[in-house]
């Protein structure tokens, strides 16, 4: 870690802001073992656990420990596990339950003023305080111990049809919060708040706000910029040594009818590195320039410490919705690998920066254009995982075609101005990608579809959900199925794992319930 980061972390420790019953800040800088302290398990986004009590030789003995039903709708959150307690959310709700038994400890219900209730990805924790976003655009802080509200702050404008769904990320004394907005022709942004007071520290807009701003030359005018989209509804990742925050951004607007936004439309559909103390951009890489297919790049940027050509490199990998796997040097954003992880037909090549070059014939047409992937994307928001043990990047993927039509040919189109229809769905699968080359090492197809979040472990396992409401364990080296349990509903996000009293648990959300499976220490 660089000196400023070390000093800031030590200052928090010496100030006593991390209580004995709260989250120990040192856990944020370690692989998750007896805890799962943040959305991705740690800052890297790998969703990898070093635990081996559950492994490929004994996973068949994994048994149900408990289940907890909320009764308020589907759970899309990743639970956090801290000091034997699980904290998780659904729109307008947060719960704390005993991680060993599933017994409810407290439940907080927000009195909503509206907003889109499509889902909530989870909560963030700082010391003895918890943070979550509400559909009606508030960032709320609760006491970790009893769920009582401390404060709430407005993070977006409900009247402009923004809403909140993303799990906050805590970096030292910054609560990082994104915004959501389905089909919203307003600018996306990322904000940082003081964890104690809720005061706004900085705000970074994903699209330029005026001429002369970085990226403004990729838009035709200021009006197009200010209605440019680029929402930030994926949880970022972070490198403490470089002190860089890695943010992925949504699609530009209007998304299908694109006549009034000529240019690459930075920094939409991009991976951007920011300084978390100031919100200043260090570098960017655009996955889909001038996106016309609703392929936002809001997938998880996964940090990998590996080797390229025998040299150690600090890397960041992204399996994007547009069907391409990208590997970058995370110190400067230089592209090292660009490779499709499902068949695609929308690009006519790769430029010298590693960015796909859109084929104009595959942009939406009045009489239709057959395009792969479809609007749902080659992957979507459910998180991937990376195992340093196998060197493989695992992602839930789909092969599908659809026909993209444009029906608003006006010079200033309104709304989407087009749509996609029909096509063919050729199936879903887990793709295991060699991070060094982008080549598929193995592929495990699902007979009934499905594309859930994933988690890998040092026990040579990958956990995920299939299309038949099962939690499944795959062999991380070969992709062979080893174990499954039917949950009665599809897996809502990526599983997590932790160890308490020598027993390893795997917890996953499905429908309105949490399910916990356990392997006792033998």
Question: 249 falls in which pLDDT band (50, 70, 90)?
Answer: very high
Note if the bond before 267 is cis, omega within 30 degrees: yes
pLDDT at 7 over 90: no
Tokens matching residue 342: 């499902």
Q: Is the pLDDT of residue 18 over 80?
A: no
Mean pLDDT, range 252-264, rounded to an integer: 94
Residue 338: pLDDT band by 50, 70, 90 thresholds?
A: very high
Q: Are 169 and 149 in contact (CB under 8 A)?
A: no
Rg of the chain, C-alpha, whole Å: 22
Which residue has tokens 């993927």? 397
pLDDT at residue 229 in the model: 95
Is the pLDDT assigned to residue 12 strictly greater than 60? no
Task: List the 461-465 sheet strands across, edge first.
Answer: 48-49, 455-457, 461-465, 470-475, 481-486
Residue in 6, 229, 39 with CA at minimum distance from that of residue 122: 39
Give the residue from 407, 434, 437 showing the smallest Cα distance to 420: 407
**Distance in angstroms (rounded) separating the CA atoms of residues 160 and 106:** 33
Residue 212, number of CB atoms within 10 A of its CB: 8
Q: Which of these ranges, 25-39, 117-131, 159-173, 506-520, has the smallest mean pLDDT?
A: 25-39
- What is the pLDDT, as a whole number, of residue 185? 87
Query: Which residue ranges make up each domain of the chain?
Result: 3-47+62-519
User: Which carries the bigger pLDDT value, residue 260 or residue 417?
Assistant: 260
pLDDT band, very low/low/confident/very high, at 147 (cuts 50, 70, 90):
very high
Residues 471-502 have pLDDT tens digits of: 999 999 999 999 999 999 999 999 999 999 99
Handedness of CA 408, 411, 414, 419 (dihedral sign): positive
Quote the tokens at residue 400: 């599908």
* pLDDT tens digits along 155-196: 999 999 999 999 999 999 999 999 999 878 899 999 999 999
Check residue 450 and give its pLDDT.
85
288: left (phi over 0), alpha (psi -120 to 50) or beta: beta
pLDDT for 343-386, tens place per residue?
A: 999 999 999 999 999 999 999 999 999 999 999 999 999 999 99
User: Across residues 318-347, what is the average pLDDT?
Assistant: 98
Residues forming beta bridges with residue 139, ordered by sequence position = 133, 153
Q: What's the rounded Cα separation, in Å, for the pair 206 and 216?
A: 11
Instruction: Tokens for 394, please give them.
Output: 């695992």
Closest CA to 508 of 43, 77, 31, 96: 77
Contact status, residue 198 vs residue 139, Cβ threshold 8 Å: yes
For residue 224, is pLDDT > 60? yes
For the beta carbon of residue 447, count every other beta carbon within 10 angstroms: 10
| Per-residue pLDDT at 19 exceeds 50 | no
- Give the model's pLDDT for residue 21: 59
What local confidence, expressed as pLDDT, does residue 10 receive? 38
Q: What is the mean pLDDT of the chain?
A: 94
Chosen CATH of 3-47+62-519 out of 2.20.25.160, 3.40.50.11740, 3.90.1860.10, 2.140.10.10: 2.140.10.10
User: In this predicted structure, what is the pLDDT of residue 417?
Assistant: 78
Q: Comparing C-alpha atoms, which of 407, 510, 387 is closest to residue 460?
A: 387
**Contact, 460 vs 476, CB < 8 A?**
yes
Q: Name the token pair of 389.
A: 């043990």
The reply to whether 294 belongs to the active site is yes
**For the residues 299-323, what does the mean pLDDT come to?**
97
Indicate which residue of 294, 296, 420, 466 is catalytic.
294
E-strand stretches of 249-291: 270-274, 281-286
Least trusted range by pLDDT, from 3-12, 72-81, 118-127, 272-281: 3-12
Residue 505: strand, helix, or coil: strand
How do residues 424-439 score in pLDDT, each as one tens digit? 899 999 999 999 999 9
CA distance 472 to 467: 10
Q: Which residue has the tokens 């420790």?
A: 13
Cα–Cα dist 203/216, whole Å: 18
Measure the CA–CA gap between 129 and 422, rounded to whole angstroms: 47
Residue with tokens 């308490």: 500
Going 465 to 470 to 473 to 474, the CA torsion angle's sign is negative
């Amino acid at each position: 870690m660089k000196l400023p980061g070390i000093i800031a972390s030590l200052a928090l420790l010496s100030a006593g802001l991390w209580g004995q019953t709260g989250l120990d800040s040192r856990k944020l800088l370690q692989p998750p073992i007896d805890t799962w302290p943040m959305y991705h398990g740690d800052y890297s986004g790998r969703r990898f656990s070093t635990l081996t009590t559950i492994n490929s030789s004994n996973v068949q003995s994994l048994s149900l420990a408990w289940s907890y039903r909320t009764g308020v709708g589907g759970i899309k959150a990743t639970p956090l596990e801290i000091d034997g307690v699980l904290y998780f959310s659904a729109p307008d709700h947060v719960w704390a339950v005993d991680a060993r038994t599933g017994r409810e400890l407290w439940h907080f219900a927000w009195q909503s003023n509206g907003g889109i209730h499509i889902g909530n990805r989870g909560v963030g924790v700082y010391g003895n305080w918890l943070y979550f976003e509400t559909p009606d655009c508030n960032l709320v802080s609760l006491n970790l111990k009893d769920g009582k509200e401390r404060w709430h702050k407005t993070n977006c404008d409900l009247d402009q049809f923004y809403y909140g769904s993303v799990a906050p990320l805590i970096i030292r004394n910054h609560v990082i919060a994104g915004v959501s907005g389905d089909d919203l022709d307003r600018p996306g942004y990322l904000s940082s708040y003081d964890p104690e007071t809720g005061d706004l520290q900085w705000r970074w807009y994903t699209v330029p706000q005026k001429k002369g701003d970085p990226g403004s030359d990729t838009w035709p005018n200021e009006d197009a910029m200010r209605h440019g989209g680029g929402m930030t509804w994926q949880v970022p990742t972070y490198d403490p040594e470089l002190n860089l925050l890695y943010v992925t951004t949504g699609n530009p607007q209007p998304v299908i009818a694109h006549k009034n936004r000529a240019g690459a439309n930075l920094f939409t559909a991009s991976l951007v590195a920011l300084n978390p103390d100031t919100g200043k951009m260090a570098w960017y890489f655009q996955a889909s320039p001038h996106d016309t297919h609703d392929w936002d790049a809001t997938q998880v940027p996964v940090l990998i410490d590996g080797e390229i050509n025998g040299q150690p490199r600090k890397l960041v990998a992204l399996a994007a919705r547009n069907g391409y796997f990208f590997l970058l040097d995370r110190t400067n954003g230089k592209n090292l690998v660009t490779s499709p992880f499902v068949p695609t037909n929308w690009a006519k090549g790769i430029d010298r920066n590693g960015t796909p070059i859109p084929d104009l014939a595959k942009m939406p047409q009045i009489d239709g254009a057959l395009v792969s992937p479809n609007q749902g994307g080659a992957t979507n928001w459910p998180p991937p995982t990376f195992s340093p043990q196998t060197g493989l990047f695992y992602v839930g993927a789909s092969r599908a075609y659809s026909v993209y039509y444009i029906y608003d040919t006006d010079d200033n189109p309104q709304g989407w101005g087009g749509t996609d229809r029909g096509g063919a769905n050729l199936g879903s699968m887990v793709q295991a990608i060699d991070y060094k080359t982008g080549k598929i090492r193995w592929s495990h197809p699902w007979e009934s579809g499905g594309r859930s979040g994933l988690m890998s472990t040092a026990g040579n396992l990958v956990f995920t959900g299939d299309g038949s409401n099962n939690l499944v364990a795959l062999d991380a080296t070969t992709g062979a199925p080893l174990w499954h349990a039917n949950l009665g509903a599809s897996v809502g996000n990526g599983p997590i794992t932790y160890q308490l009293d020598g027993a390893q648990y795997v917890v996953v959300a499905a429908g309105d319930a949490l399910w916990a499976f356990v392997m006792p220490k033998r």
